[in-house]
Amino acid sequence: MSDPVLDLDRRLRTPLAAFQGDRPPAPEWFDAAIAHQPERSVTSVEGAEIEILTWGERGQPGLLFLHGGMASADWFDHIAPFFAETHRVAALSMSGAGRSSWREHYDVAQFAREMAAVAMAAGLHEAGPPVFVAHSFGSRPLLNAAANPELKLRAAVVLDAAISLPKAQSTSTLDTRPHRTYATFDEALSRFRLMPYQTCDNLYVVDHIGRQSLKRIKTADSPERWTWRSDPYVFQKLSGSAQEDAETAARSARCRLAFLYGDRSAIVRPDNLAHTREVAPDSSLFASIPDAAHHVFLDQPLATVAALRVLLAML
């Protein structure tokens, strides 16, 4: 008889370990989406090479996706293709994430400038102001961009993030440490997990983003080891107060705001959701995605696509 507590701990800490490097079974829609591979390119922003993934033809309405903390552009590989027939779609990896360069220092306004530069490089403005969508920590540069008078946006959509109450802890105080390295790809993949911890029934999505999160490196002891692509010290190197910046930016937004969040989210809680409603402009839209936790587009990918399509039509 299995121990429910130990089983939950395994699902939280090592959700892919049981597959031993094999890919979990996936539905046809997911395989079709992943098969629609993006064009990969980079653009230079203030001395850093920023990774860009694009789908769809230039000249269509622009749609930009930005990931959350310690994630990357590839987290949208299964979502972005759904919009490629009607939009010019791009996803970027912020500096310090994915295949983008690392910096000595980071700040929210700089991440917002990376978004703006990617939108121009990818041709997202060719059919008018684009829509920007960002998950979790990515909402901070998203709101900064929405308040920028020099950057014209049609709308900014926040995925499972809320503007924290003033007493909330700053992400810059979070404990950081070097990434571990692993002898094999499969060993490293078996250690991939979502942060903050949560279970996810769609392990085929978790497996895909885990594979994209790894890179091969050399060490003094081995010609081949595996570790994570992201800069482990991003939040330690982050300047300013992301919370205060987000509140100021939301109040000053120059485009329509929308907030989509999981109804089981541990991040969007009643208190900070209420605060967000107070801070955001009266025209802002709010909607929950049923049976989804913080990683809404992993928990409920098709529902997230449907919700975004409705928002795009409304906005």
Residue 29 lies in a domain: no
What's the number of domains the chain is made of?
1
**Within a domain: 266:** yes
What is the per-residue pLDDT for 40?
A: 98
Residue 202 covered by a domain: no
Q: Which residue range(s) make up the domain with 238?
A: 37-166+234-314
In a domain, 27, yes or no: no
| Residue 160 resides in a domain | yes
Contact 240, 106 (CB under 8 A): no
CATH code assigned at 125? 3.40.50.1820
Total number of residues shown for the chain: 315
Residue 44 forms part of a structural domain: yes
Instruction: Report d(CA 174, CA 234) in Å as an integer.
Output: 10
Please tell me the predicted confidence (pLDDT) of residue 173.
45
pTM for this entry: 0.94
Query: Does residue 220 lie in a domain region?
Result: no
Residues 6+ apart with CB under 8 A from 205: 30, 78, 298, 301
Q: Tell whether omega for the bond before 196 is within 30 degrees of 0, i.e. cis.
A: yes
240: left (phi over 0), alpha (psi -120 to 50) or beta: left
- What is the pLDDT tens value at each position of the chain, 315 positions in all? 566 655 656 677 889 999 999 999 999 999 999 999 999 999 999 999 999 999 999 999 999 999 999 999 999 999 999 999 999 999 999 999 999 999 999 999 999 999 999 999 999 999 999 999 999 999 999 999 999 999 999 999 999 999 986 654 444 445 578 899 999 999 999 999 999 889 999 999 999 999 999 999 988 888 899 999 999 999 999 987 655 588 999 999 999 999 999 999 999 999 999 999 999 999 999 999 999 999 999 999 999 999 999 999 998
**End-to-end CA separation in angstroms for the chain:** 52
Residue 300 backbone phi and psi in degrees, to 5: -135, 70
Is residue 30 included in any domain, yes or no?
no
